[in-house]
Amino acid sequence: MTILLDFDGTLVDQHRKQAFEKLVRCAVCPPHCRDSRWKRKLAARLLRDDKRLCAHTIYDRRTLFRLHAKYFPHLSPGTLCERFWNEVQRTQKVRRGFITLLKEWRKQRHTLVWATDTDGPGGNKLRRVMDPELRLSGFFGKNVFIGSEGGVPPKGDPRFVDHMLRELGINAEHERRNCVMIGDKVGSDLLPSAAAGISSILIRNQDYRGKWPAEVKKMAELKKAIQSLQVSVFVSYCHRDKHLVAKMENELKGTRVHFWRDARDVHEGDRFVPKIADAIRTQKAVLVVLTENSVTAPWVKFEVGQAVYYEVTQNKRVFTVLAGKVRNADIPGPLVGLVSADLRGRKFKAGMRQLRNAMNSLGRD
């Protein structure tokens, strides 16, 4: 999966309140404005108006400082903008739990992309994106797209999302289904992404109120939210083959497919037979792993019977994989025409390519 990540407010907390307070303390104000209490009020006013402008996708802070130019008579809006972003860079912190999550995504072979907008003149967004904590963690790469720079459309424009996807080589509609945008602002992050045909998840930010069908409050909820966007496939297998199935899952990381397995997804207290039958009925497809162990396993026979029933009555997709030492003569009759990959012996790598193509086809249905 390709994961597009907004930077400010999603990946890092900006701490704009502290930045405005430091800016006001250090800036040259008229003599009658040197009172510390008055300066705190001015910083609060700047923060409030900044939130209002951002709600209308106005991120160039020169606009903000022009509105309050009378309080900074000796400094231009451009200079104030540069000072503000210097303070933001000193105070910004990567959101708690995100580094761990990013490491897990990389292990799963997801493509990570920074999708952000310019900070305006003097902001040097590329320098801010290269946050030391992110750089040392190995997450800064070539996939950084900064809107409003070098002829690139601004981030709130659907053309910006199209530009990123074209640069990444993602053009077909079914390929876009394998992408997700994660951001904290509905107007500039999620609506343009939805218009470009990719899924979106909102991370709630108290500075930007908004509602979205897929939203989370905490980083810990993000993993499950992404998983819910993926295609879920029921895996029918013999538990004696669990290491083979785990290897297959590892080989298929990076696809949209989430594998539903009883050993992992049936919890203590669940009624086993109804849970399995319901899982087969509700998952988008069934993957049957046939080995010398599973062809005689009673539970696999039950699951195959359920899968074939729903294939006939609901057009359920059923895929069959041959592995281990299973013989062609051992394939159950209803599954003979549903073999998608042969992983036996030296055919494993070629078979996995076939299976990956079969799983990717689910996203195009």
210-226 pLDDT, tens digit each = 788 788 888 888 887 88
State the Cα–Cα distance between residues 109 and 356, nearest whole angstrom. 14
State the Cα–Cα distance between residues 210 and 93, nearest whole angstrom. 23
Q: How far does CA 318 lie from the centroid of its chain?
A: 28
Q: In this predicted structure, what is the pLDDT of residue 268? A: 46
Q: In this predicted structure, what is the pLDDT of residue 323? A: 92
When pLDDT is averaged across residues 301-321 and rounded to a whole number, the result is 89
CA 198 vs CA 4, 171, 181, 232, 285: distances in Å:
10, 12, 7, 18, 22
84-123 pLDDT, tens digit each = 888 888 888 888 888 888 888 877 778 889 888 887 665 5
26-53 pLDDT, tens digit each = 875 555 556 778 888 889 999 999 888 8
Q: Where are the domains of the chain?
A: 1-229, 230-364
In the predicted model, is pLDDT for residue 139 greater than 80?
Answer: no
On the question of a common fold for 1-229 and 230-364, the answer reads yes
Report percent pLDDT > 70 for the chain. Answer: 87
When pLDDT is averaged across residues 318-327 and rounded to a whole number, the result is 92
Q: Which amino acid is at 299?
A: W
189-209 pLDDT, tens digit each = 888 888 887 888 999 887 777
119-135 pLDDT, tens digit each = 766 557 777 777 666 66
Q: What CATH number belongs to 230-364?
A: 3.40.50.10140
Matching residue, tokens 């993926």? 230
The per-residue pLDDT of the chain, averaged, comes to 82
Residue 183, both tokens = 């951001």
Angle between helix axes 16-26 and 36-55 (nearest 10 degrees) is: 130
Ranges 85-89, 138-142, 228-232, 244-248, most confident: 244-248
In the predicted model, is pLDDT for residue 157 greater than 80?
Answer: yes
Q: CA 152, 154, 156: angle at the middle one, nearest 5? A: 145
Q: In this predicted structure, what is the pLDDT of residue 352? A: 92
Report which of residues 202 and 271 the model is more confident about. Answer: 202
Q: In this predicted structure, what is the pLDDT of residue 160? A: 92
Q: In this predicted structure, what is the pLDDT of residue 286? A: 92
For the segment(s) 1-229, the CATH number from 3.40.1390.40, 3.40.50.1000, 3.90.1170.50, 3.40.50.1220 is 3.40.50.1000
Q: In this predicted structure, what is the pLDDT of residue 321? A: 93
In the predicted model, is pLDDT for residue 363 greater than 60?
Answer: no
pTM: 0.61
Which helix (H) or strand (E) element contains residue 234?
A: strand 231-236
